[in-house]
A and B are shown apart, each in its own frame.
Chain A
Amino acid sequence: MTETQNTVEFTPERLKIAQEMIDRYPAERQKSALLPLLHLAQEQWGWLSPEVMDYVGRMLDIQAIEVYEVATFYTMFHLDPVGKHVIEYCRTGPCCLMGGEEIYDYLKQKLGIQAGETTADQKFTLKEVECLAACGMGPVFQIREQYYMNLTRDKVDEIIAELSR
């Protein structure tokens, strides 16, 4: 256990960013940096393991449970290992009006996985998400910080081919 904890540490660049994030909030209010730090951690490790959450908790001087209860509440955090690219597919009404369900079926068929699953080569994980605030450009999915909009079968083919390289 001790050994695992020792290996969990932000890179020097991220450690600097983390400290800046903590310093932004008023004194004694460092817990406010929890969501920013969890995003930073997920950027580094891809998902939030208990060890990573414990590490973030120690940085903020808060109980581990305070980290777990937050990480499990917000849907952006992956609590299990994920593939290299996490496709977060919008399933909400306005996207569906623009053919979102049909494109989603096509994507699932193409990757051979269902929501919540990862492809055997560990390249893609598929997640269903709610409205991404891009309704005029639906159907939409997101991979990390990138929005992919006005999706068609052809576009899905291109994106998957590009990311499979």
Chain B
Amino acid sequence: MGKKILLEHINVPGIETYDVYRKQGGYTAVEKAIKTMSPEGVVEEVKKAGVRGRGGAGFPMGMKWSFLAKPEGVPRYLVCNADESEPGTFKDHYLMKNIPHLLIEGMIVSSYALGANKSFIYVRGELMYVIRILEKAIAEAKAAGFLGKNILGSGYDLELIVHPGGGAYICGEETALLESLEGKRGNPRNKPPFPAVKGLYQCPTVVNNVESIATAAWIINNGGDAYAAIGIGRSSGTKLISASGHIKKPGVYEIELGVPVEEFLYSDEWCGGIRDGHHLKALVAGGSSVPILPANLITKLANGEPRLMTYESLSDGGFQTGTMLGSGGFIVFDETACVVRNTWNFSRFYHHESCGQCSPCREGTGWMEKVLHRIEHGHGSMHDIDLLVDVAKKIEGNTICPLGDAAAWPVASAIRHFRDEFEWHITHPAEATQPGAVFKGEMALV
């Protein structure tokens, strides 16, 4: 059993209510922070914890906090990014729905640290039922004196506002999210200026993921050093992994960073292995945006050592033989899955979700979808494979936000590791377009 920080009390009946959450030690971090610590002291603990952004980028949260500009007389804002939309990722949905007070408590502690008096939780609009759960939790916390004016007699005021999105993946990008929160289209902003200087309403703003903010309560209760002692090196603490696809036990799991990928995949404590009668073909470890890896590369590094669930180990080998931890969206493919079809599916997603501002992304995602569609449907040519590589290369790094990269990587990695499967679709169109047809040749050429 690994250490549980976020989901320790998840199975306690009634944990979604204030009373039960409080009985399990809830809101002690707010009491400790507000009564005994300075805002700078809270920032210091979070820095020591070394917790990295859990939305996918992995940027250290404490460092992000320390960049926040503090001009006199200008409000500062904390915005929680709960726009969870990365395919394969459903951990924030799970956390907010089941243990909403953990996020509320984290928001209070974090807002106090940053000196924010009005903080926002931007939740994807599809999760309207979760928004209602959060609003109920906020009302309970307010009634208990943990929100509102003069919290615990400290003179500190805080109001929490839950804001619905409208169904746009791009709003998970922090500046698009801020635009959206201002009532506009979700077009990412050019940077600099960064949100820490000019964010929401052109005021200094910190945007953090749900899971990141939820760690704040434990860090304050137990100290940053205790958090940093969990995990391995710069991958400190625990991580929520959303496991889906062809496994026996899909779901959300909290792991100590550093668990071997093989153990996470096959142990009964977590995924429970590939469904009966099948075997692992490929895996996307960190949400649809990160490179797909074939079976032989996901469990072992290129030098044969076991690959671990850490930021460093998953990216070991760069994009030639590695991938990324990303959002922890762990999508498992057995031998019945067609890599070409899945790549086309993901491409369609990115084309649909591109905001259209930057031409490499707007046009490139469309072309990748079109070319992949024709390969999958038996009309591809060998030239198309190189064309895809070329288009992906021309999108990558040439857009103002990372959606372009996120669209390019799945395509480039699928071709890098499964080129023979693409070629088979082109050389055997009649066979490849049969329902359920999957390439049976030598798999996973590195």
Contacts and interface: CB of A to CB of B under 8 A. Distances in A.
Contacts of A88: 126
Interface in A144-159: 144-147
Report which residue of B125, B181, B333 has the largest number of chain A beta carbons within 10 angstroms of its beta carbon.
B125
Contact of A74 (B163, B165, B288): B165
Centre residue among B118, B132, B288, B345 by max chain A CB count within 10 A: B345
A75 interface: yes
Contacts of A137: 90, 250
Contacts of B87: 92-94, 130-131, 135
A112 B277 CA distance: 36
A55 to B, nearest CB: 16
A118 to B, nearest CB: 19
A29 B167 contact: no
Contact of A76 (B118, B126, B183, B244): B126
A133 B127 contact: yes
Contacts of A32: 163, 181-183
B90 A134 contact: yes
A134 to B, nearest CB: 5
A142 B213 CA distance: 28
Interface string B226-245: 00000000000000001111
A24 B159 CA distance: 9
Nearest to B129: A145
Contacts of A132: 126
Contacts of A69: 184-185
A73 to B, nearest CB: 4
B244 A92 contact: no
Contacts of B173: none
Interface in A34-66: 34-36, 38-39, 60, 62, 66
A129 interface: yes
Contacts of B348: 91
A133 B252 contact: no
Contacts of B39: none
Interface in B169-202: 169, 180-186, 201
Nearest to B128: A145
Nearest to B75: A26
B185 A93 contact: no
A105 B413 CA distance: 30
14 contacts: A35-B165, A35-B166, A38-B166, A39-B164, A66-B184, A69-B185, A92-B87, A93-B346, A94-B331, A97-B331, A97-B337, A134-B90, A136-B90, A142-B126
Interface of A: 24-26, 29, 31-36, 38-39, 60, 62, 66, 69-70, 73-77, 88, 91-94, 96-98, 129-138, 142, 144-147
Interface of B: 75, 84-90, 92-93, 118, 124-129, 132, 159, 161, 163-169, 180-186, 201, 242-246, 250-252, 288, 329, 331, 333, 337, 341-342, 345-346, 348-349, 352-353, 355
8 smallest CB-CB distances across A and B, nearest first, come from: A74-B166, A76-B167, A136-B250, A34-B183, A31-B183, A135-B244, A75-B167, A73-B185
Given A31-B184, A33-B183, 19 more contacts: A29-B201, A35-B163, A73-B166, A73-B355, A76-B125, A93-B88, A93-B342, A97-B337, A130-B87, A131-B85, A131-B88, A131-B349, A133-B89, A133-B93, A134-B93, A136-B90, A144-B128, A145-B129, A146-B129
